[in-house]
């Protein structure tokens, strides 16, 4: 369990570098004006590091007693990564 958590969290740490660029570019969505869609788009992108930190902390807390729950919580930031890839490929 420890190697799994360490490897996934190193990958999450590495993914924060491209996230910073994408986060900065996401503010260009306000070029067409401010509306609910643009604000929610930037907010969802901004919440990725929060999900990484909270998921990592909870995974390490639950790794001994509830292994399956720890794996699920640790994979929570993958939702952002998968949705971004799907958004970039299909839209």
DSSP characters over 60-87: HHHTTT-HHHHHHHHTTTHHHHHHHHHH
pTM for this structure? 0.81
pLDDT digits (tens, 9 = 90+) for 6-49: 999 999 999 999 999 989 998 898 888 888 988 988 898 999 99
For 46, the token pair is: 């901004």
Q: Per-domain residue ranges for the chain?
A: 2-90
Helical packing angle, 36-46 and 48-62, nearest 10°: 40
Q: What is the DSSP letter of 30?
A: G
Instruction: Give the pLDDT score at 29.
Output: 85
Label residues 50-89 b or e (16+ Cβ within 10 Å = b): ebbeebbebbbebbeeeeeebbebbeebeebbeebeeeee
């Amino acid at each position: 369990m420890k190697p799994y958590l360490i490897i996934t969290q190193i990958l999450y740490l590495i993914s924060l570098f491209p996230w910073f660029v994408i986060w900065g570019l996401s503010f260009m969505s306000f070029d067409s004006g401010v509306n609910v869609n643009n604000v929610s788009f930037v907010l969802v992108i901004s919440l990725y590091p929060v999900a990484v930190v909270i998921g990592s902390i909870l995974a390490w807390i639950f790794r001994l007693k509830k292994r399956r729950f720890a794996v699920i919580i640790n994979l929570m930031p993958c939702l952002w990564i998968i949705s971004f890839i799907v958004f970039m490929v299909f839209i």
